[in-house]
């Protein structure tokens, strides 16, 4: 039965009649309504207001949820994941504990190539089943929209297999799913010395099928020393752009690789990671319309310095937060932890982190008219917390499950 009203809400979080992409100081403004009600209809937000006006709003037949002492938030918008993969990689995790670096593991054929070998052996059916199970777990953790990348195929067959799985997830999923083509994740062994050969394959063999079958919304490239150079990134992105795919690129993770400047030059929707930034990269991003998507759980898992969120926000950047869920560098898609880590390790204020993980995350998937805030007409994808003393308690009490209920299109999941 659909929920038609939530009443006695201690705090209704991120309430906006109007909205825009938040940058710089705007990120710290999180509009909330105390002692509020929320009325839902047909899976959408119909109205909201202070409790003493609830009687004037007549919810239809359905369940009424009393949220005394509880907060209601828009569900998390996770704009960067690699949710489809064939197998976990905890053996590499142990190797790293013993002292090997991410780059050393990659050089031994581990890392992305390890996932690519396993993906080549997996059936579309098995990939879909495992991805569905992960997606369901994330929905329970409050994720209400998600982006998913290919990039473990690294062959025409493998990339198309991954993208077809993502397309099926789009059809099955109760939450919106966006698909990104990341064929340029690394060079497969056969093309290690023949970069142009692989770029030709991406552009001439994979992209035409992807466009024809409408398998992707975005194009991504891992712009990094030892992976794809800024020039290669630009060539690949421009080929995708000619087919209507906007770039969302992996930039400045391990080195000052020029990915941010390349993304801005291309008008990318987002540049993601940003662990390694200098003044030029920060100022270039701040002066652009490109969103900087921070992935703190990848920095945490790889024991890297966290993204310089304070410098980015103080410079006026538009910041989103995402999980980077993948078997190599972030084997968790828990956005509650991402929000906590952002406050604890990157000194983001709770208000900034929640805005970055909801409204700005929605912008980073072009879903801002459907999700990311409590706005009349947006989807009723919502988190109802357990009773908590305050908003700041959410990132503060890291690791506790503070979610009481998750609603997707007005239904409790
Ligand atoms: O976003 N940086 C590149 N890609 C992934 C990691 C991929 C992997 O190790 O499987 C990331 O961190
Ligand atoms: Fe990633």
- Per-residue confidence (pLDDT) for residue 57, from 0 to 100: 83
Ligand 1 atom closest to the CA of 112, numbered from 1: 10
> What tens digit of pLDDT does each residue of 243-254 get?
999 999 999 999
Q: What pLDDT band is residue 81 in, cutting at 50, 70 and 90?
A: very high
User: What pLDDT was estimated at residue 48?
Assistant: 98
Average per-residue pLDDT for the chain: 97
Q: How confident is the model at residue 56 (pLDDT cuts 50, 70, 90)?
A: confident
Distance CA 287, CA 301 (A): 30
| Cβ 111 under 6 angstroms from ligand 1 | yes
Reported as a pLDDT band with limits 50, 70 and 90, residue 393 is very high
Between CA 325 and CA 335 the distance in angstroms is: 10
Look at residue 15 in the predicted model and tell me its pLDDT: 98
How confident is the model over 5-29, as pLDDT tens digits? 999 999 999 999 999 999 999 999 9
Q: How close are the terminal C-alpha atoms of the chain, in Å? A: 11
- Ligand 2 center–CA 181 separation, angstroms: 12
What pTM does this model have?
0.97
- Least distant ligand from the CA of 222: 1
Give me the mean pLDDT over the 261-272 stretch: 98
Residue identifier of the C-alpha nearest atom 12 of ligand 1:
329
Percent of the chain clearing pLDDT 70 (strictly above): 100
pLDDT for residue 264:
98
Angle at which helix 112-121 crosses helix 156-172, to 10 degrees, equals 80
Report pLDDT for 73.
Answer: 98
402 vs 335: CA distance, rounded Å: 12
Q: Is the pLDDT at 55 greater than 90, yes or no? A: no
Q: Is the CB of 257 under 6 A from ligand 1?
A: no
The answer to whether the CB of 324 is under 6 A from ligand 1 is yes
Residue 107: predicted pLDDT: 79
Structural domains in the chain, sorted by start = 3-75+373-412 (2.30.40.10), 77-363 (3.20.20.140)
Ligand nearest to the CA of 105: 1
d(CA 279, CA 23): 17
Q: Which segment of 74-78, 97-101, 267-271, 298-302 scores lowest on mean pLDDT? A: 97-101
- To test the pocket of ligand 1, the residue of 185, 248, 329, 330 to mutate (highest count of ligand atoms within 8 Å of its CB) is 329
Tens of pLDDT, residue by residue over 108-162, are 888 999 999 999 999 999 999 999 999 999 999 999 999 999 999 999 999 999 9
- pLDDT tens, position by position, 345-374: 999 999 999 999 999 999 999 999 999 999
């Amino acid at each position: 039965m659909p929920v038609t009203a939530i009443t006695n809400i201690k705090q209704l979080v991120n309430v906006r009649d109007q909205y825009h992409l938040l940058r710089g100081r705007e990120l710290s403004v999180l509009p909330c309504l105390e002692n509020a009600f929320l009325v839902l209809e047909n899976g959408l937000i119909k109205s909201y207001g202070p409790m003493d006006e609830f009687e004037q709003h007549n919810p239809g037949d359905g369940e009424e949820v009393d949220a005394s002492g509880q907060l209601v938030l828009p569900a998390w918008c996770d704009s960067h994941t690699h949710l489809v993969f064939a197998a976990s990689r905890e053996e590499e995790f142990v190797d790293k504990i013993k002292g090997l670096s991410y780059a050393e593991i990659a050089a031994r054929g581990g890392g992305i190539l390890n996932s690519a070998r396993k993906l080549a052996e997996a059936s579309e059916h098995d990939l879909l089943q495992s991805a569905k199970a992960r997606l369901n777990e994330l929905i329970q953790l409050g994720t209400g929209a998600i982006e998913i990348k290919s990039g473990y195929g690294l062959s025409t067959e493998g990339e198309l297999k991954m993208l077809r799985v993502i397309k099926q997830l789009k059809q099955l999923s109760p939450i919106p799913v966006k698909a990104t083509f990341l064929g340029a994740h690394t060079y497969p062994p056969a093309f290690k010395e023949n970069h142009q050969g692989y770029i030709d394959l991406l552009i001439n063999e994979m992209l035409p099928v992807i466009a024809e079958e409408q398998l992707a919304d975005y194009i991504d490239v891992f712009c990094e020393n030892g992976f794809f150079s800024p020039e290669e990134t630009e060539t690949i992105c421009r080929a995708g752009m000619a087919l209507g795919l906007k770039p969302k690129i992996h930039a400045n993770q391990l080195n000052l690789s020029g990915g941010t400047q390349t993304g801005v030059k291309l008008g990318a929707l987002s540049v993601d990671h940003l662990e390694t930034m200098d003044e030029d990269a920060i100022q270039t991003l701040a002066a652009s319309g490109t969103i900087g998507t921070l992935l703190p759980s990848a920095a945490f898992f790889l024991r890297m310095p966290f993204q310089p969120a304070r410098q980015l926000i103080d410079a006026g950047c538009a910041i989103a937060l995402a999980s980077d869920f993948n078997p190599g560098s972030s084997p968790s898609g828990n956005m509650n932890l991402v929000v906590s880590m952002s406050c604890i390790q990157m000194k983001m204020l709770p208000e900034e982190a929640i805005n970055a993980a909801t409204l700005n995350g929605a912008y980073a998937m072009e879903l801002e008219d459907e999700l990311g805030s409590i706005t009349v007409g947006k989807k009723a994808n919502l988190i109802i917390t357990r009773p908590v003393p305050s908003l700041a308690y959410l990132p503060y009490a890291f690791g506790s499950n503070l979610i009481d209920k998750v609603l997707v299109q007005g239904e409790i999941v």
